[in-house]
A and B are shown apart, each in its own frame.
Chain A
């Protein structure tokens, strides 16, 4: 899952960092394209697709 990839890059992140109360908004539009980062205002930089894939999750 996308959230597992993100947490692998930033292990200090918790569920509280994700929407609706947090600063990271993950979304799935049920269009077959899967989960994606809708918005990112976290103090950590938004990971790139390459970084996400490199986690192996």
Chain B
């Protein structure tokens, strides 16, 4: 009768290679172990990260999405109308989760995300009250800063928050509005960035 046992499940080379590190088990999301043990971990090839089973779900350890959506065009905003900022390009988008055609971030890994937004209103000839907000699934999630001014140099507004996403259908967008009484424009220096910070 052995004094102890060692569970080698999932280890392709438990004693290590002569030169180089161990290679952990890997799978894609659809091919995850059917009956995982709490603490079992492996490399998920679907999103390219390490995950561990917490007893009820898979927690992502590494490889969570990060993005920075920017724009090379201005966005016209009718007075008193919340308008999505047309973020039509990216500086980076690690998991291809940001759409530059509908300007939204739809993460494929469930968890909490730090989201940051910035919009810059171009100069206005009338006094301007401007607002910015992060939207989740098409509705206001949280407002950011707002300002009232008589602008000749424009104004920048920021928003920063943490959003929980389900990793499949939840999406995040950046909106802004103003109430000058006429249409104003948001400049091409606007952006929204974000990064996975922990599993759900």
Contact = CB atoms under 8 A, between A and B. Distances in A.
Interface of A: 1-3, 15, 18-20, 25-31, 35, 38
B185 interface: no
A32 B2 CA distance: 71
Contacts of A35: 78, 81
Q: Is the interface of A mostly helix, strand, loop or mixed?
A: mixed
Contacts of B78: 1-3, 26, 28, 35
Interface residues of B, number: 26
B177 A19 contact: yes
Interface string B76-91: 0111111111100000
B143 A20 contact: yes
A2 B143 contact: no
A15 B83 contact: no
Interface of B: 75, 77-86, 102-103, 129, 131, 133, 138-140, 143, 146, 175, 177, 179, 181, 183
B102 A26 contact: no
A3 B183 CA distance: 11
A27 B138 CA distance: 10
Nearest to B85: A30
B177 A20 contact: yes
Contacts of A38: 82, 139
B102 A27 contact: no
Contacts of B102: 31
Given A2-B78, A3-B78, A26-B78, A18 B179 contact: yes
